[in-house]
């Protein structure tokens, strides 16, 4: 039991770790390989489109596959393959294919890990477990950014992607440590709602959750959140480059890594709070912080203070990182469509983020950084209002016996 | 002495650039485009098959390469403002004959030692103190087919927070000795930090120039 959960911890750590390499760094790498701006843009667009297109199918695939562990293993191997392909074969078609493969694999990997967690601990302990997942993922992100900074600076972009590919191995080892199919575990923890044991994809009643108002509102909230959030760091980092002189790379590194530590600190608390107070208050905290961050970034020009403001991002990331899989689990209880639904939310999040970088980038070019931060803060305020007004509590009503405000150990209502 | 790259000079580049030009250059140029009339008839005939733009097909495309205007139009059509040629191509081909004239029957090849040429896309530009300023990501040519500015990707960490800055071509110093191809920059870090960002060839471009020239940017259309 303990060994399995430890395995899940490390799985989150290493997966976050090797996913970091596929971020903005890939354009640094391709630039160094002599690629033109146009070609880099095309490859990245291909990746973005593939990521959007594969969110829902990826989630549905994980739902359909009985063994979530096998699904996760296949996705990890695919990500390793694309990292190696990028490292060893920097020509247009291989890189574009690797980006697309990575997008498909990622769309299955995240949901597979969430489904594994659910199968391991059941709905009662899911909040706490997801908090732990988010903690280890944040630590993995921070570690990877640091490592890649060193590797990229002292060695080459090449080395970064070889490292990324190699990090798949410990991820697979961690997956191995989780052990045999979790659904075969002691019945007391899983029995109430093992996702695969439900009526298999009968196209009838079990898809009703798609019309669930809670799901649609949550998707809208998440999309608006990302619309306001995704471009803040890049634009802030651009301003740091302009203002911080020689210290700029270090300041930007701090802006990236700092929030991850906050997320690592706060996530487990967010998971516990969601179990005792409910999902809504925690979600609201994560949303409220965003307009504040936007307004502060608009008003404060000192790059070193920007690091402190960016720490607020850690709070939002913790709240959303834990609440998203938790709320979706609440909504899809006993439907067997948990990961399909996660894919749907992923699509909303991805759409918001893509639109954000484009729109806010244009704003920043036209009217400057402050104006674009203020407009993002405005969008964030709308998102917060939407959560406050429209988003219902999804925590299932407690079963009659235990006191309602404690994390519960027995069956749900 | 500062080696300056003229229109006749060939750059070699990664295949990404070629492909972009090949994929988009052909489709984007209408058959009636005036630049096509300036190509040799042989090329005009082949245009339908896309052969004109096969840059990796070195001997056949020499005519195109030697006409900076043509190469430039192709480059702009492909939204990559960079005249690209590949491989160990002739470095200092003589100016082409009158437009529309028949191409020479026997193609000439010039062999240039590799260390006399430098591929510059993705190469880091260093400051006078040896500090990395960022890689060259694009080269902007003027209407005469001369390189006017290099775009470098300045600053940032792991690709986050970089700014694209156009710097005057004349401020670059190329050192190609002893296999240590270095591109040095006469412009201070402070000047780069203060410069407005390069926003693509559709917008007016501010080019950071040498301080002693006394101006911070040329007329906006200079680099178009």
Look up residue B48 and give its two tokens: 């339908």
**Given an 8 Å threshold on Cβ–Cβ distance, is B135 in contact with A31?**
yes
- Of chain A, the percentage scoring pLDDT greater than 70 comes to 89
Nearest to B160 among A38, A92, A234 (CB): A234
Please write the tens of the pLDDT for every residue from A90-145.
889 999 999 999 999 999 999 999 999 999 998 988 999 999 999 999 999 999 88
Query: A-chain residues within 8 Å CB-CB of B189?
Result: 245-246
pLDDT at B28: 58
The enclosing H or E element of B174 equals strand B172-175
Nearest to B159 among A28, A36, A37 (CB): A28
The residue with tokens 């700029």 is: A248
Please write the tens of the pLDDT for every residue from A212-267.
888 999 999 999 999 999 999 999 998 998 888 888 888 999 999 999 999 999 99
pLDDT at A54: 94
Measured distance CA(B89)–CA(B119) in Å, rounded: 12
What is the residue-wise DSSP string for B133-157? EEEEEEEEE-TTS-EEEEEEEE--B
**Given an 8 Å threshold on Cβ–Cβ distance, is B158 in contact with A28?**
yes
| A71-85, A205-219, A261-275, B62-76: least confidently modelled range | B62-76
Q: Which of residues 160-199 of B touch A (CB under 8 A)?
A: 160-163, 189-190, 193-194, 197, 199
Query: A-chain residues within 8 Å CB-CB of B14?
Result: 33-36, 90
pTM: 0.75
Residue B125 CB coordination number (10 Å): 25
Q: Quick one: pLDDT band at residue B106, thresholds 50, 70, 90?
A: low
**Given an 8 Å threshold on Cβ–Cβ distance, is A34 in contact with B13?**
yes
Whether the predicted pLDDT of A147 surpasses 50: yes
Work out the minimum CA distance from B138 to partner chain A, whole angstroms: 7
Q: Which residues contact A158 (CB under 8 A, 6 or more apart)?
A: A29, A87
**Given an 8 Å threshold on Cβ–Cβ distance, is B20 in contact with A238?**
no
- Of chain B, the percentage scoring pLDDT greater than 70 comes to 46
Measured distance CA(A290)–CA(A377) in Å, rounded: 7
Q: Which of B166, B167, B155 is nearest to A303 (CA)?
A: B155
Q: For residues B12 and A104, which has the higher predicted lDDT (pLDDT)? A: A104
In chain A, which residue's Cα lies nearest the Cα of B194?
A242
What's chain A's average pLDDT? 86
pLDDT at A362: 86
Is residue B38 within 8 Å of residue B99, measured between CB atoms? yes
Please write the tens of the pLDDT for every residue from B40-66.
665 554 444 433 333 333 344 444 444
Q: Which of A216, A218, A229 is nearest to A313 (CA)?
A: A229
Q: Which residues contact B20 (CB under 8 A, 6 or more apart)?
A: A36, A38, A39, A42, B78, B79, B80
Phi-psi region of B93 (alpha: psi -120 to 50; beta: other; left: phi over 0): beta
A392 CB-contact burial (10 Å; exposed 0-12 / middle 13-18 / buried 19+): exposed
What is the residue-wise DSSP string for A69-117? HHHHHHHHHHHHHHHHHHHH--SHHHHHHHHHHHHHHHHHHHHHHHHHH
When scoring A241, A243, A251, A361 by the number of chain B Cβ atoms within 10 A, the one with the most, hence best to mutate, is A241
* CA distances, B139 to each of A207, A226, A290, B208 (Å): 54, 35, 39, 14
Whether the predicted pLDDT of A360 surpasses 70: yes
Q: Quick one: pLDDT band at residue B212, thresholds 50, 70, 90?
A: low
In chain B, which residue's Cα lies nearest the Cα of A366?
B199
Q: Number of A:B CB contacts under 8 A?
A: 123
pLDDT at A333: 86
The enclosing H or E element of A243 equals helix A232-243
Work out the minimum CA distance from B55 to partner chain A, whole angstroms: 15
pLDDT at A78: 95
Measured distance CA(B19)–CA(A34) in Å, rounded: 13
Measured distance CA(A124)–CA(A120) in Å, rounded: 11
B113 CB-contact burial (10 Å; exposed 0-12 / middle 13-18 / buried 19+): exposed
What's chain B's average pLDDT? 64
Is residue A256 within 8 Å of residue A233, measured between CB atoms? yes
Q: Quick one: pLDDT band at residue B112, thresholds 50, 70, 90?
A: confident
Is residue A214 within 8 Å of residue A391, measured between CB atoms? yes
Whether the predicted pLDDT of B92 surpasses 50: no
Please write the tens of the pLDDT for every residue from B138-164.
999 999 999 999 999 998 888 888 889
Look up residue A152 and give its two tokens: 């990229």
Measured distance CA(A135)–CA(A129) in Å, rounded: 10
Look up residue A23 and give its two tokens: 């971020």
Q: For chain A, say whether B139 makes contact (Cβ under 8 Å).
A: no
Whether the predicted pLDDT of B84 surpasses 60: no
Please write the tens of the pLDDT for every residue from A155-202.
777 888 888 888 899 999 999 988 765 444 433 333 334 444 344 444
Q: For chain B, say whether A246 makes contact (Cβ under 8 Å).
A: yes
Query: B-chain residues within 8 Å CB-CB of A245?
Result: 189-190, 193
- ipTM of model over 0.95: no
pLDDT at A22: 84
pLDDT at A77: 95
Q: For residues B36 and A24, which has the higher predicted lDDT (pLDDT)? A: A24
Q: For chain B, say whether A38 makes contact (Cβ under 8 Å).
A: yes
**Given an 8 Å threshold on Cβ–Cβ distance, is B137 in contact with A36?**
yes
Whether the predicted pLDDT of B26 surpasses 70: no
Q: For chain B, say whether A388 makes contact (Cβ under 8 Å).
A: no
pLDDT at B83: 37
Whether the predicted pLDDT of A281 surpasses 60: yes
Collapse the DSSP code of B9 into the 3-class scheme (helix H, G, I; strand E, B; otherwise coil) and give the result: coil
């Amino acid at each position: 039991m303990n060994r399995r959960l430890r395995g899940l911890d490390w799985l989150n750590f290493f997966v976050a770790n090797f996913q970091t390499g596929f971020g903005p760094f890939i354009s640094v790498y391709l630039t160094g390989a002599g690629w033109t701006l146009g070609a880099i843009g095309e490859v990245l667009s291909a990746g973005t489109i593939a990521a959007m297109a594969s969110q829902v199918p990826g989630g549905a695939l994980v739902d359909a596959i009985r063994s979530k562990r096998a699904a996760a293993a296949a996705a990890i191997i695919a990500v390793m393959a694309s990292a190696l392909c990028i490292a060893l074969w920097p020509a247009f078609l291989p890189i574009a294919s690797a980006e697309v493969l990575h997008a498909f694999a990622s769309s299955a990997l995240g949901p597979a890990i969430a489904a594994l967690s659910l199968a391991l601990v059941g709905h009662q302990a899911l909040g706490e477990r997801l908090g732990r997942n988010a903690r280890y993922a944040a630590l993995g992100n921070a570690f990877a950014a640091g490592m890649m900074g060193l590797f990229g600076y002292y060695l080459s972009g090449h080395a970064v992607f070889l490292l990324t590919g190699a990090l798949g191995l410990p991820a697979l080892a961690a997956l191995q440590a989780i052990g045999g199919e979790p659904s075969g575990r002691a019945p007391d923890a899983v029995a109430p709602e093992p996702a695969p044991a439900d009526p298999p994809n009968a196209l009838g009643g079990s898809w009703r959750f798609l019309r669930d108002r809670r799901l649609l509102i949550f998707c809208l909230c998440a999309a608006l959140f990302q619309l306001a959030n995704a471009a803040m760091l890049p634009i802030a980092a651009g301003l740091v480059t302009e203002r911080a002189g020689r210290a700029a790379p270090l300041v930007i590194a701090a802006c990236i890594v700092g929030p991850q530590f906050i997320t690592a600190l706060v996530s487990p608390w967010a998971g516990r709070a969601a179990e005792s107070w409910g999902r809504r208050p925690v979600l609201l905290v994560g949303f409220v912080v965003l307009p504040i961050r936007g307004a502060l970034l608009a008003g404060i020009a000192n790059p070193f203070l920007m690091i402190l403001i960016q720490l607020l991002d850690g709070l939002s990331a913790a709240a959303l990182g834990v609440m998203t899989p938790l709320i979706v689990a609440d909504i899809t209880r006993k439907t067997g469509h948990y990961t399909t639904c996660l894919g749907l939310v992923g699509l909303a999040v991805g759409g918001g983020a893509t639109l954000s970088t484009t729109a806010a980038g244009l704003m920043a070019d036209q009217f400057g950084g402050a104006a674009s931060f203020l407009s993002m803060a405005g969008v964030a305020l709308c998102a917060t209002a939407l959560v406050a007004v429209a988003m219902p509590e999804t925590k299932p009503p407690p079963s009659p016996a235990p006191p309602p405000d404690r994390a519960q150990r027995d069956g749900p209502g | 002495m500062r080696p300056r790259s003229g229109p006749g000079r060939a750059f070699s580049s990664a295949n990404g650039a070629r492909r972009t030009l090949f994929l988009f250059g052909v489709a984007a140029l209408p058959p009636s485009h005036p630049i096509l009339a300036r190509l040799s008839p042989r090329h005009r005939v082949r245009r339908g098959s896309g052969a004109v733009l096969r840059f990796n097909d070195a001997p056949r495309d020499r005519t195109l390469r030697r006409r900076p205007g043509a190469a430039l139009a192709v480059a702009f059509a492909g939204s990559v403002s960079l005249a690209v040629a590949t491989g160990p191509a002739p470095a200092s081909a003589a100016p082409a004959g009158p437009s529309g004239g028949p191409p020479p029957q026997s193609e000439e090849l010039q062999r240039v030692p590799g260390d006399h040429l430098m591929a510059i896309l993705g190469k880091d530009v260093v400051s006078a103190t040896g500090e990395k300023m960022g890689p060259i990501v694009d080269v902007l040519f003027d209407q005469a087919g001369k390189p006017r500015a290099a775009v470098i990707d300045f600053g940032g960490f792991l690709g986050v927070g970089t700014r694209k800055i156009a710097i005057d071509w004349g401020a670059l110093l190329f050192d190609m000795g002893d296999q240590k191809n270095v591109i040095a920059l006469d412009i201070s870090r402070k000047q780069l930090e203060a410069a407005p960002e390069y926003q693509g060839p559709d917008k007016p471009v501010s080019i950071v120039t040498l301080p002693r020239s006394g101006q911070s940017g040329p007329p906006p259309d200079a680099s178009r």
